[in-house]
C-alpha cells in the first residue's frame, strides 16, 4: 500500500459556499471536491467522493453477503415490453425515460430492476430446491425527476443497491424479511447513522408491506410520524391516528342558509361551529371516474392513502365544471342526495366516527346541519385517507404523535407475487405443481446514503468522516514543500503509515499552512499529521484529531507516529 499526493490528484476545494446548494451535505460535497454537477440531478464523483462511495459499497456488500446475497449486474437499458406486462410502463409516468433503438423497439432506462430480475428468475428457477434465493446488485439507475435538489439527496442518475429475494411461500418470505431488516440496521450503524425504521407505503412497487429507514433531518423530503411512548413509527403516507367514536344522539338533518360561505372556514365561522364539526368535499378524477372524498373539515386528504384505498394510481383534482356535471355544486357540494353513477363516494374514518356534521346542500348559499354517515348517504369506500398531524393521538397507545422531516436511506418491501404472476415466473413446488415465485425487494440509495452521512457528521469547518467511510484515514501536511527535510520527513511518515495499513494523503501543495489546515478540516480526514519547521527542529511532529480537535505531539519516528495514530483513531467516537 502506498500514499497519495494531493498535488498529483484531482482534489479541488472551494473557500465559499456555492449559491445553488441548500443542504449542508450538498454545500460540503461541492466545497470539499467530492462531486461536480454535469446537468440537473446528474453528478460526477471526483476522486475523494468516489473513494468514500466505494467504502459505502463495501459495507453494503459485506452485509448483503452475510445474509446469503449473491451479487449480479443487470443492464441499465430494458425492453419496454417487460414493463408493459407489469403495467408500470404507464404507471411510472414521465419519470421513466423511454426511447426507440435503431430497430424501432421501445426501450427504457431502468429506474429500478424488478422486471429484469423477475425475467431472470423466470428463466433460471424451476424448482423449490433452488429456493430461497437472494440476488443483489449495485447499479446505476435513472429517473427523470421533475425537481432534483439537495445534491445527492434527490437526483436523476443515481447508484443503488437493490436486492431481490425469491421464496416458495409467503411464510418463507416473512421469515427472511427480518434478516434483511437487521442487515439494514447494521449497514446504517456501520456508516455512523442512527436510522429510524418506519412502516411505509409500498407505492408503485406494490406488495403486502414495507419499511423505510429514515435519518431524521430538517432538510429531508420524507415526513415521518413517531410516538415517543410506544415506539410507533410510520411514513406520513402510511401513518394513521386514533379516531374516538362520538356518542351523541343523531339529530334531524336541517337545511340552513349560508350565503357566500364557500370554504370550510367561512361555514364554521358563520354557523359558530368548530371546523372539526364540518364535512369537507374534495373531488378527484381517475380511471374509475369522479371520486368524492368526504373528510372532516379540519383535515387534509393524503393522496397516497387515497390511491391505496381506491386502487387508482392516476388521481388528479377535478375541475369545477367536472364537479357540476355530476350534479354537485362547487363550494356547496354534498354527498347527500347525489345520485349520478359517474361519481363514487369515499368516506374517511374521521367522518365515520363523527356525529351531526355540517355538510354542503348541493344548493348555492345553503348547507345541511346534522349530516351523519351512513344514515344520510351511502359510500363505495370507507377508509383512512387523512393526513396525520403533529399532536394527533397514536393509533396504538393514544399518546401525542410527533411529525418530523427525514432523509430516506433505504426501503424494503414484501412484493409477494405481483411481478412473478405478471411475467409468468413460476416454479414447481414440493407436490410438482407450478406456483408463482414469492418475492421481496430491498433498496439502498448509495449516493444518498453518502450525503446523509455528511448531513449527520459535519460542523462549521467541514466534514467529519466516520472512520469507516473516510476517503483517507490520515492526511500528512508538509507545511513547506520547498524544504527538502520536510518533504523527506513527510514522505517517510506517509509510507510508514501506509505500510501499516492506513490510507494516507500527503498535502504537498505549495499553499500556506493556514490553507492546508483549512482544507484538512473541510475534507474531514479523521487525523492530521503536521510536518513543520519548529516541530521538525525538535525531532517531533504534531497530530490533531478532526472529530474533537484533540492534539498530540510525538517523536518523529515511524513506530512512535504509528502508535499514536493507532491510539487516536481507535478512541475516536465515530
The pLDDT score that the predictor gives to residue 20 is 83
Domains of the chain, CATH where assigned = 4-8+472-570 (3.40.50.800), 53-220+406-454 (3.30.930.10), 254-383 (3.90.960.10)
pLDDT, averaged across the chain: 94
- Is the separation of the CB atoms in 308 and 343 below 8 Å? no
pLDDT digits (tens, 9 = 90+) for 196-209: 999 987 765 555 67
Which residue shows C-alpha cell 425469491? 166
Range with the lowest mean pLDDT among 18-32, 109-123, 127-141? 18-32
Query: Which phi and psi angles does 264 have, rounded to 5°?
Result: -60, -40
The pLDDT score that the predictor gives to residue 209 is 78
Q: State the Cα–Cα distance between residues 406 and 218, nearest whole angstrom.
A: 6
Percent of the chain, pLDDT > 90? Answer: 90
Q: Sign (positive/negative) of CA torsion 521, 523, 526, 532?
A: negative
Query: Which phi and psi angles does 289 have, rounded to 5°?
Result: 100, -150
pLDDT digits (tens, 9 = 90+) for 253-279: 999 999 999 999 999 999 999 999 999
Number of H-type helices and E-type strands within the chain: 16, 32
Mean pLDDT of 113-131: 98
Exposure of 406 by Cβ count < 10 A (0-12 exposed, 13-18 middle, 19+ buried)?
buried
The pLDDT score that the predictor gives to residue 203 is 62
The pLDDT score that the predictor gives to residue 117 is 98
DSSP output for 253-295: PEEEE-TT--SHHHHHHHHT--GGGBEEEEEEEETTEEEEEEE
Q: Is the pLDDT of residue 424 over 90?
A: yes
Mean pLDDT of 214-243: 94
pLDDT digits (tens, 9 = 90+) for 355-367: 999 999 999 999 9
Q: Is the pLDDT of residue 223 over 80?
A: yes
Cell of 38: 454535469
Query: Which phi and psi angles does 293 have, rounded to 5°?
Result: -90, 125
Percent of the chain, pLDDT > 70? Answer: 98
Question: pTM of the entire structure?
Answer: 0.90
Amino acid at each position: 500500500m502506498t500514499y497519495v499526493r494531493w498535488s498529483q490528484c484531482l482534489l479541488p476545494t472551494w473557500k465559499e459556499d456555492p449559491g445553488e446548494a441548500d443542504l449542508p451535505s450538498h454545500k460540503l460535497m461541492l466545497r470539499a471536491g467530492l462531486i461536480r454537477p454535469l446537468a440537473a440531478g446528474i453528478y460526477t464523483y471526483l476522486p475523494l467522493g468516489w473513494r468514500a462511495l466505494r467504502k459505502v459499497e463495501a459495507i453494503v456488500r459485506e452485509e448483503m453477503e452475510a445474509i446469503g446475497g449473491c451479487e449480479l449486474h443487470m443492464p441499465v437499458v430494458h425492453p419496454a415490453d417487460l414493463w408493459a406486462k407489469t403495467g408500470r410502463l404507464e404507471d411510472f409516468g414521465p419519470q421513466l425515460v423511454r426511447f426507440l433503438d435503431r430497430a424501432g423497439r421501445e426501450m427504457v432506462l431502468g429506474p429500478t430492476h424488478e422486471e429484469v430480475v423477475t425475467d431472470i428468475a423466470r428463466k433460471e428457477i424451476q424448482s423449490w430446491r433452488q429456493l430461497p434465493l437472494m440476488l443483489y446488485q449495485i447499479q446505476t439507475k435513472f429517473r427523470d425527476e421533475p425537481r432534483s435538489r439537495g445534491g445527492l439527496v434527490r437526483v436523476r442518475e443515481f447508484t443503488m443497491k437493490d436486492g431481490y429475494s425469491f421464496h416458495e411461500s409467503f411464510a418463507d418470505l416473512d421469515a427472511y424479511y427480518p434478516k434483511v431488516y437487521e442487515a439494514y440496521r447494521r449497514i446504517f450503524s456501520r456508516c455512523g447513522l442512527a436510522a429510524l425504521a418506519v412502516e411505509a407505503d409500498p407505492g408503485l412497487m406494490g406488495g403486502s408491506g414495507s419499511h423505510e429507514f429514515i435519518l431524521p433531518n430538517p432538510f429531508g423530503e420524507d415526513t415521518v410520524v413517531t410516538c415517543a411512548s410506544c415506539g410507533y413509527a410510520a411514513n406520513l403516507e402510511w401513518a394513521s391516528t386514533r379516531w374516538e367514536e362520538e356518542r351523541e344522539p343523531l339529530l334531524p338533518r336541517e337545511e340552513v342558509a349560508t350565503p357566500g360561505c364557500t370554504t370550510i372556514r367561512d361555514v364554521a365561522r358563520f354557523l359558530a361551529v368548530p371546523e372539526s364539526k364540518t364535512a369537507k368535499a374534495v373531488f378527484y378524477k381517475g380511471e374509475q371516474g369522479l371520486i368524492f372524498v368526504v373528510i372532516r373539515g379540519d383535515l387534509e386528504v393524503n393522496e397516497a392513502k387515497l390511491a391505496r384505498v381506491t386502487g387508482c394510481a392516476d388521481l388528479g383534482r377535478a375541475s369545477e365544471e367536472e364537479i357540476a356535471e355530476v350534479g354537485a355544486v362547487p363550494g356547496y357540494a354534498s354527498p347527500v342526495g347525489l345520485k349520478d353513477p359517474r361519481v363514487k363516494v369515499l368516506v374517511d374514518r374521521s367522518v365515520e366516527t363523527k356525529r351531526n356534521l355540517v355538510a354542503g346542500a348541493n344548493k348555492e348559499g345553503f348547507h345541511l346541519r346534522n349530516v351523519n354517515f351512513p344514515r344520510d348517504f351511502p359510500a363505495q369506500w370507507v377508509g383512512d385517507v387523512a393526513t396525520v398531524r403533529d399532536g394527533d393521538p397514536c393509533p396504538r397507545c393514544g399518546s401525542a404523535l410527533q411529525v418530523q422531516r427525514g432523509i430516506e436511506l433505504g426501503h424494503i418491501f414484501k412484493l409477494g407475487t405481483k411481478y412473478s404472476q405478471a411475467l409468468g415466473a413460476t416454479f414447481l413446488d414440493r407436490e410438482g405443481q407450478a406456483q408463482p415465485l414469492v418475492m421481496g425487494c430491498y433498496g439502498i440509495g448509495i449516493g444518498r446514503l453518502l450525503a446523509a452521512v455528511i448531513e449527520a457528521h459535519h460542523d462549521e469547518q467541514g466534514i467529519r468522516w466516520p472512520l469507516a467511510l473516510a476517503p483517507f484515514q490520515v492526511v500528512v501536511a508538509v507545511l513547506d514543500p520547498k524544504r527538502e527535510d520536510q518533504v523527506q520527513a513527510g514522505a517517510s511518515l506517509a509510507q510508514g503509515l501506509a505500510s501499516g495499513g492506513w490510507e494516507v494523503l500527503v498535502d504537498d501543495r505549495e499553499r500556506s499552512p493556514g490553507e492546508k489546515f483549512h482544507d484538512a478540516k473541510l475534507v474531514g480526514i479523521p487525523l492530521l499529521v503536521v510536518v513543520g519547521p519548529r516541530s521538525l527542529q525538535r525531532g517531533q511532529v504534531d497530530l490533531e484529531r478532526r472529530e474533537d480537535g484533540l492534539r498530540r505531539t510525538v517523536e518523529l519516528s515511524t513506530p512512535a507516529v504509528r502508535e499514536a495514530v493507532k491510539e487516536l483513531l481507535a478512541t475516536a467516537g465515530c
